[in-house]
Amino acid sequence: MITIQVIENKTGKPVKDSKVSIYKPWGGGFKKGYTNADGEVSIDFELPCKGELAINGNKVHEGEMKAYMKLYI
């Protein structure tokens, strides 16, 4: 399980209803979810893994995934 929290850079506040997508290019598939009022979404992926993470269609991370990731947009 990977939990991602999305924070707005300007305000430092959580971002609600952001689409978060994880793509594992080497046969791992694609999964997505939407952030809640705390800016968090949990996506069911086995760890350890590497992949690409996008928020609202914009790639924000590529590489090793962690159980909890806080990202600023």
How many CB atoms neighbour CB 58 within 10 A? 8
CA dihedral 51, 56, 58, 61 (to 10 degrees): -30
- Domain limits, the chain: 2-72
Segment 16-40, tens digit of pLDDT: 999 999 998 776 688 999 999 999 9
Please state the pTM of the whole predicted model: 0.88
Q: Which two tokens stand for residue 59?
A: 């790639």
pLDDT at 29: 82
- Distance from the first to the final alpha carbon of the chain: 22
Class of CATH domain 2-72: mainly beta
pLDDT at 53: 94
49-69: average pLDDT: 93
pLDDT at 25: 75
- Is 90 exceeded by the pLDDT of residue 57? yes
